Structure 1
Amino acid sequence: MPLRDIVIAVIVLGVGLHALRRAWIGVLLWTWVSTMNPHRYTWGILSTAPVAAFAAGVTLLGLVLTKERRSPFIGLPVVIFAFFVGWMTLSWLMSRDVSEDYWTWSRSAKIYLMIFVTLALIYTKEHIMAFAWVLIGSLAILGAKGGFFTLITLGNHRVWGPPDSFIEGNNEFALALIMIIPLVYFLQLQVTRKVWRHALSMVMLLCAASAFGSYSRGALIAIVAMGAVFWWRSPKKGEVAIFILLVAIAMVPMFPEQWWARMDTISDYQEDGSAMGRINAWGVAWEVAKHKFFGSGMSYQHPEYFILYGEYEAIVRAAHSIYFQILGNHGFIGLFLFLLLWITTYRDAGWLMKNARSEPHTLWAAQLGAMAQVSLVGYAVGGAFLSLGYYDLPYNIMALVVMSKKWVTSKAWQNEGASHKL
């Protein structure tokens, strides 16, 4: 077995066994495996082994064995999330072919189950910060790797995400990195040593380079929108302005002609077959939702719908939009719940930013709320062009926000020790 396989297997097995005694450690293992997909970068038997299932299994067993758990329903976004999951399941059961959609429903249901488990087991500041470091670091490492590749190849090759994951595609991976950049900045605000601060600055730059190197047009729009909110929400607007300027100066001139040619198609979308195909798919999603109260299930990509409702073509295409994906799959009620989930999460993040900054013990939560809002703006804008309605990163951000708000409102710092800083 290759050395990389052995190292990852030892980590997964060791942490998994530890999770049986301290169940919240299992959440960290699951988050690392499901977010970074480290086993997909191995070459031996581990690359196809059910590593995620093992991580979920030991975490669920630890949940049963431990007494250190709480109800996961700790905020309005969680209640709305539960209703969305229920509606998604009902929509799947009312679909044209339940068995055909089972795999997609099962994959999403497992992710959502683990979100509820996370909410039940992560409740102290130590837990929340460890969860944040694992979640953010798992993607930041991949982003730094991709950014380094972009720099050494001068942007002549696209950057791709973890194999067999939600973000395997270049566009999806770019959006994930755009969402993670403000969260890396949140981590930077928590550290005190200059070496860590400089290292995290470099990670943010490399993640931005990787996002640009994906050749994603949606990512370019999202990063502009997110950059504006990032600057507005940051407590250090001067430093952030310099950071954004450095990214523009360093990254934009280096990209080759084919990168610029692809970005130019944003303004000429009528002549772009891919863009018009997306618009056609959006129209089909609208018509499916109009005619089917529960939507089409876990996918509305069926030939008969595109033949019946397609305005420009009858070719079956993915939604390429979180909004139209959810609309076509789960109807108007599903879309309403989906939007309400993110609106209330954004509102709770704003509550943290406003109400947690007055106390030194809770300042970190205010900083998290501000950067979570920036990240959600990236998801809202970039997601308009990608089928990532079931992707777990935004749901984990929701969990971070509601867990932090619960920690603040319960004044948990009065019973916890001093925070740990690097």
Structure 2
Amino acid sequence: MRGAIVALLMFMWMPFILFKPFVGILLWDWISHMNPHKQTYGFAMFFPFLDFVAALTIGGLLLSKDKKSLPAHPIVAIILIYFVWVTFTTILGFEPSYSVEKYTYVFKVLLFAFVAMMVMQSPNRLKAFVFVMVASLAYIGIKGGLFTIMTGGSGRVQGAGGMMEDNNQLAMAMAMLLPLAMYFVQYPPLKILKWPFAGATVAIMLSIVGTQSRGGFVALAAVMGMMLLKTKYKFKLIAVLIPLIVGGLYFMPDSWKNRMQSTENATEDSSFQGRVVMWRFSSNVADDNPIEGGGYNVFYIRRAQELYMPPGETARAPHSAYFEVLAEHGYTGLLLYLSMLLTGWYAAGTVAKDMRKHEETKWIGDLSAAIQLGLVGYAVGGLTVNIATFDLFYHYLAVIVMCSNVGNEILKRQTFKLSDDGKTVVAAGPKKWSPPKPTSQAAREKANPI
């Protein structure tokens, strides 16, 4: 029954996509972040809904008479350069057949980001895109938070499928989501949703704790620390956080506390030692192939393991986005990846600063600031989790571009308007100030003595 409902919802909207491509973007948005079909049984669980929605959206975009060009933005340029580079490293990789699956996945992620940038170029479309993304991920966070409460913290919140395969990746997504959930407490689509989003924010934090991911816990701490540095309401935030932290420490079982405390003795932890082994493997691959690396999924290629794995060690996931990129795309790829991350960080801060100056675009400035905080969680979480191909990172970059375009268009409309004849465009800036005219004869003589 659940599968039939999900399939009906998706098929019901598909006919509209050819005429309204933004409907396809929102449906694509929902499927990518929530994976509703993966939470069903039967045919719906394995049906390629996303491929159908993507094809119809691109078809609708081609048929549409709207502007179809990518925005001129530094983020767009660096993503395109990075994609060209990973295409090159895939062709020259150790075993291109091993790389194709991951390369195809990245292609789909970036395709969605680019199409979204082209289509979602109005205030309402931007709001809808972000709301669907946050609501989809918040559903997973609320489930995880409730599970943590119901199990007393003894049960582990596992992955949700899609980009959130395991508990570590789920924790990263929730740490990135937290600032946006707080943003919707300030800017709810409907006033009635203000407190539900406040509750969702608490549930998202509990879900991060419930994953028992040490990397996720560090990412959460980084996001909250940066939020304290940047917010004007430091004391209010501290007043809310202290009871949550104290209550959480009292509530969580000893098994969770022991796992979190194990970060203090990380060098003696077998899990950490396994990560160090894979980091050495990544460095060995890059040192021998500094320009192009070994291609996607080089960690699972037997020939690469024989050449670069330390003797007596077992290969596993890289457990670091940075070492993941280093091994797969060389030092050149790592430089481009870091440039993409830093460009997104700087662009989000710039948009936040520029848009907060005007009342009409303040909401865009605050949205960009929330995205910037989400990038902090991604950057810190990437130290210990392999999330270099994480959907959410590239979608956040797309939102930054949308914020810049939409904000500039709003300010442009505020600057110019049609004249009384309805045809001529004239400046609509503030009127020049002139001193008030004196009302009495004495005042007029004092103002004009000559």
Global fold match (TM > 0.5): yes
Residue aligned with 2:376, SS: helix
What does residue 285 of structure 1 align with?
A: 282
| 1:271 pairs with 2:272 | no
1:34 partner amino acid: S
| 1:168 pairs with 2:153 | no
Mapped partners of 2:167, 2:117: distance in 1: 30
Runs of 4+ displaced beyond 6 Å: none
8 A Cα contact 2:153 2:252, kept in partner: yes
| 1:36 pairs with 2:34 | yes
2:297 partner amino acid: S
CA shift for structure 1 position 243: 2.8
Mapped partners of 1:161, 1:54: distance in 2: 25
What aligned pairs does 1:78-157 form with structure 2 within 5 A after superposition?
78-157=76-155
Residue aligned with 2:296, SS: coil
Mapped partners of 2:309, 2:264: distance in 1: 23
What aligned pairs does 1:354-373 form with structure 2 within 5 A after superposition?
354-373=353-372
CA shift for structure 1 position 235: 4.0
CA shift for structure 1 position 40: 0.3
Mapped partners of 2:144, 2:83: distance in 1: 33
8 A Cα contact 1:27 1:118, kept in partner: yes
Unaligned runs of 5+ in 2: 415-450
Most deviating of 79-88 and 100-109: 100-109
| 1:208 pairs with 2:210 | no
Identity of matched residues, %: 29
Q: 1:239 to 1:74 in 2, by over 3 A?
A: farther
What does residue 417 of structure 2 align with?
A: none
Normalising by the residue count of structure 2, what TM-score does the alignment of the two structures yield? 0.88
Mapped partners of 2:405, 2:58: distance in 1: 23
Q: 1:313 to 1:178 in 2, by over 3 A?
A: farther
| 1:326 pairs with 2:325 | yes
| 1:403 pairs with 2:402 | yes
1:343 partner amino acid: L
CA shift for structure 1 position 110: 1.3
Q: 1:249 to 1:174 in 2, by over 3 A?
A: same
CA shift for structure 1 position 313: 4.4
Residue aligned with 2:383, SS: helix
What aligned pairs does 1:245-260 form with structure 2 within 5 A after superposition?
245-260=242-257
Most deviating of 80-89 and 108-117: 108-117
CA shift for structure 1 position 340: 0.5
Unaligned runs of 5+ in 1: 416-422
8 A Cα contact 1:296 1:328, kept in partner: yes
Normalising by the residue count of structure 1, what TM-score does the alignment of the two structures yield? 0.94
8 A Cα contact 1:277 1:313, kept in partner: no
What does residue 341 of structure 1 align with?
A: 340
Q: 1:67 to 1:125 in 2, by over 3 A?
A: same
CA shift for structure 1 position 143: 0.2
Mapped partners of 1:244, 1:35: distance in 2: 28
Q: Deviations over 1:281-302 (max 9, x none)?
A: 1111112112112111112213
Mapped partners of 1:250, 1:202: distance in 2: 16
Most deviating of 183-192 and 214-223: 183-192
8 A Cα contact 2:94 2:304, kept in partner: no
Mapped partners of 2:29, 2:70: distance in 1: 17
1:229 partner amino acid: M
Mapped partners of 1:137, 1:239: distance in 2: 25
8 A Cα contact 2:98 2:297, kept in partner: no
Q: 1:214 to 1:413 in 2, by over 3 A?
A: farther
2:116 partner amino acid: T
CA shift for structure 1 position 308: 3.4
CA shift for structure 1 position 194: 5.5
1:127 partner amino acid: R
2:274 partner amino acid: G
What is the total number of aligned residue pairs between the two structures?
413
